[in-house]
């Protein structure tokens, strides 16, 4: 696996780790039962869980959605290249493991802006001999850096279809940063036959008081990071112009989940939408 060890200012990852501030990737790791997190992440995670007690269920179901989406793309559509932005700290059954389990020649580029994710990616995200796995230290809000990065261009052939994975990352992009334009820029760089797989937290199933609290936090910031909850209609806009595959935009717990343990968690417990669509 190859990595880009410094940011645009030339700082090494270790220079950018602030363990006193909660970070989404480390907090997510905490909810998933991992050990790669710090006190600030755990406190933030517990605070959010106090308002949304099933957050750990949501995190697990989102992870399972990613695995099913990658499996679908590799097995049923023949996608052999994946661009996974907002990777998070590696756990079991990461994108490259699922894809290369179906097709060992699959090529995967991971993108994240957390230096701790970078360190773990370097150590853990190893490829099959037939495939390639690379990591880019970059931010979704800078699509040009991602698309022009030498590691991406060495790993992925942008003239061939790509599976773009934006799983549980878009809700960290506020409206002021125009997330729709960011996604469109990424899709515009991909050829017909590519796919977008995305998931997004929503407030539509939260109690009104909790939903308003979440919206207020997104407007004003705070110690737990900006989580910009959006409606189903707002999430569906990310798929404008694409051919959405069945079963459409739905709860991540329900998307092609027939083989998952039953009964499935409710849409209220998960409060997250997911979908996969083809670029015509």
CB 140: neighbour CB atoms within 10 A?
21
Look at residue 186 in the predicted model and tell me its pLDDT.
98
Rounded to 10°, the helix 24-31/115-124 angle is 60
Which residue positions in the chain have pLDDT lower than 70?
1-17, 23, 123-125, 213-226
pLDDT value for 280: 98
Phi–psi pair at 13, nearest 5 degrees: -55, -40
pLDDT given for residue 88 in this prediction: 80
**Does residue 12 form part of some domain?**
no
* Measured distance CA(16)–CA(113) in Å, rounded: 10
10 half-sphere exposure, CB direction, 13 A CA radius: 0
In a domain, 144, yes or no: yes
Question: Quick one: pLDDT at residue 257?
Answer: 97
Establish if 6 belongs to a structural domain. no
Given this model, what pLDDT does residue 224 score?
A: 40
Domain limits for position 205: 18-278
Q: Is residue 11 part of a domain?
A: no
pLDDT at site 9: 44
Q: Within a domain: residue 160?
A: yes
User: What domain count does the chain have?
Assistant: 1
Whether 5 is covered by a domain: the verdict is no
CATH of the domain at 138: 3.40.50.150
Q: What is the pLDDT of residue 278?
A: 98
* Structure tokens belonging to residue 34: 């991992």
Asked if residue 9 is part of any domain, the answer here is no
* pLDDT tens-place string over residues 73-104: 999 999 999 999 998 877 778 999 999 999 99
* CA 127 centroid distance within chain: 20
In a domain, 152, yes or no: yes
């Amino acid at each position: 696996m190859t990595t880009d060890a410094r940011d645009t200012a030339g700082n090494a990852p270790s220079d950018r780790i602030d363990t006193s501030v909660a970070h989404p990737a480390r907090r997510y790791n905490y909810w998933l039962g991992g050990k790669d997190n710090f006190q600030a992440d755990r406190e933030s995670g517990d605070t959010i869980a106090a308002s949304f007690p099933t957050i750990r269920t949501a995190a697990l179901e989102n992870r399972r959605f990613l695995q099913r989406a990658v499996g679908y793309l590799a097995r049923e559509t023949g996608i052999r290249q994946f661009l996974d932005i907002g990777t998070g700290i590696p756990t079991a059954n990461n994108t490259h493991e699922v894809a290369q389990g179906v097709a060992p020649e699959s090529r995967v580029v991971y993108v994240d802006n957390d230096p701790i994710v970078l360190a773990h990616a370097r150590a853990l995200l190893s490829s099959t001999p037939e495939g390639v796995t690379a990591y880019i230290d970059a931010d979704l809000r800078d699509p040009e850096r991602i698309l022009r990065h030498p590691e991406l261009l060495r790993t992925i052939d942008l003239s061939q279809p790509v599976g773009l994975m934006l799983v549980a990352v878009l809700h960290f992009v506020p409206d002021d940063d125009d997330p729709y334009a960011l996604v469109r820029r990424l899709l515009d760089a991909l050829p017909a036959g590519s796919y977008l797989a995305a998931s997004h937290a929503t407030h539509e199933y939260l109690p009104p008081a909790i939903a308003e609290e979440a919206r207020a936090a997104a407007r004003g910031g705070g110690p737990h990071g900006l989580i910009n909850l959006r409606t189903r209609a707002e999430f569906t806009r990310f798929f404008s112009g694409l051919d959405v595959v069945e079963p459409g935009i739905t709860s991540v717990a329900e998307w092609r989940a027939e083989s998952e343990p039953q009964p499935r968690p409710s849409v209220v417990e998960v409060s997250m939408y997911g979908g996969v669509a083809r670029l015509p």
